[in-house]
Structure 1
Amino acid sequence: MSRRMEWAAKSDHLGGIPRKVVVAAVGAFAKTVSCLLNTTSVHNADTLLRLLRSRPPRVPLITVSNHMSTLDDPSMWGFKGFPIFDANLARWVLAAEDICFKNSLYSYIFRLGKCIPITRGGGIYQENMNEALEHLNNGEWLHAFPEGKVYQEDAPIGRLKWGTASLIVRASRTPIVLPIVHHGFHEVMPEKYIFGRRPLVPLWNKKIDIIVGDPIEFDLPAMRDKAISQSRIESFPTTGWPSTSGLDEAAQRCLYSTISDQIRAAMEKLRCLGKSFLKR
């Protein structure tokens, strides 16, 4: 996959003005959806805001969340008190190429909005994953939906894709990983509304809950050693992955699976906590 309009994603493209315009417009849309059309409650928002504004210099941040609608991003950032109009603080996000980059206009707008095109099914070492890694190595914020697709059923968090785990391992500094789980966006933008299609505009008078967790702790040196040992006694299919961080493909598979399971467990804990909020 080629990097589509990478030049438009540069912060100095036309003096940064187009990015600021798009971020402001997207921010206004997110505020409208989350604060004006619907009611949004955020639990533990201070943790997210603190990590955005005052984490250690050049330490990257990865936020991960469930994926309930095509409006999750940017609408989940439209809650009261979030700096949605700050282009410098805005997240980078992994976005489906077949949806967000289907033509030149979309590609340009989504690039200005700090979206990175990802080919679903293209594997964790596809070209634009390196772009995501570059942003992490610069200490920036990346958001990912590790489930890899929209799930509108209120069901336990399933097996996660390994792309996020690979970025955690490959980053020059271990990122802070913050889990987030939300509920309600599936009612704001249902996949099957009229004639099996999404509504033309977001629906309103819905209740949205966003639950921010605490950073997930990863002991990567110990996890690497365990993955190497495990890979020697178990059989794994190989597809030609490059060696990275001193790990062959079998060890990478063990490590990425372990990290993904830890993230999934943290997200599922938040999902269960969110259900208790909804019952109140």
Structure 2
Amino acid sequence: MFDDPGILSVLMPWHWLWLEPVVDKVRWSLCAKEVCFKNELLRHFFLNGNTLPVERGKAGVHQPIVSVAALALAAGKWVHVFPEGRINFDGKLGPLRWGAGKLVCEARRLSGGKDPIVLPFYHSGMGHVLPLSSRFFKAGHEVEVRIGEPVPISDVTCKCDSDDVAVQQEAWKAITERIRAELQRLEALSPPNPDQTATAPMRNPPPS
């Protein structure tokens, strides 16, 4: 849970802190409501850090908060998302959610037909710095970040403008698959993340 804002803060130019208005450059992000907004202290902390509450489950990609993120993206803001929508403890890239594609399509619609830039990046090594089995950071480890090229989407986003919901969903899926392909390429170039499934909490524990 430290990759954002931890890694992102290290990547950003330090001169932002004193030479330029930082508030215009802070990324927007989404975080599960039950994780980042479970009490008033966390709610204020994350809202002040441009983090929006997303509800997992039934609300899906149609929840209003996705439109709020799309508004920021359409305005040229940096919106950082974790397209897997969950933490995978095996250290490998998992399936991506179509919400990433919907966010792109909605931002295009809100901006009058201008596609946002989709820039993928992949990091490895956080499982050594802050293992799942530990509450404390481990010194002496490195985190590697690989930033890819903007994902080509202009030949697909035309489907975003369709009045047919099924066609729109095809666009969401196609955009998401392209993002996944580029993340897989970056994953193959990066040091492997540790498999922590043995120490991962059980999602559906048996009844006692």
Instruction: Give the whole-Å Cα distance in 1 for the aligned partners of 2:162 and 2:34.
Output: 34
Match of 1:136 in 2: 73
Match of 1:61 in 2: none
SS at match of 1:182: strand
Match of 1:106 in 2: 42
Change in CA separation of 1:112 and 1:80 when aligned onto 2, cut-off 3 Å: closer
For the pair shown, the structure with the greater C-alpha radius of gyration is: 1
SS at match of 1:147: coil
TM superposition score normalised by structure 2 = 0.79
SS at match of 1:178: coil
Structure (1 or 2) with the greater strand fraction: 1
Match of 2:161 in 1: 245
How far is 1:81 from its partner?
A: 5.5
Retained in 1: the 8 A contact 2:31–2:52?
yes
Match of 1:148 in 2: 85
Q: Please state if 1:206 is matched with 2:141.
A: yes
Q: Please state if 1:176 is matched with 2:111.
A: no
Q: Deviations over 1:39-95 (max 9, x none)?
A: xxxxxxxxxxxxxxxxxxxxxxxxxxxxxxx11101111336634742321100111
Retained in 1: the 8 A contact 2:84–2:97?
yes
**Letter of the structure 1 residue corresponding to residue 174 of structure 2:** T
Instruction: Give me the identity figure in percent.
Output: 30
Q: Which has the higher contact order (CA 8 A, sep 6+)?
A: 1
Alignment size in residue pairs: 181
Change in CA separation of 1:145 and 1:222 when aligned onto 2, cut-off 3 Å: closer
Unaligned runs of at least 5 residues, structure 2:
193-208
Match of 2:23 in 1: 87
Match of 2:175 in 1: 259
Instruction: Give the whole-Å Cα distance in 2 for the aligned partners of 1:145 and 1:123.
Output: 15
TM superposition score normalised by structure 1 = 0.60
Match 2:4 to one of 66, 73, 76: 73
Q: Cα RMSD over matched residues?
A: 2.0
Unaligned runs of at least 5 residues, structure 1:
1-69, 225-243
Match 1:123 to one of 60, 75, 96: 60
SS at match of 1:211: strand
SS at match of 1:117: strand
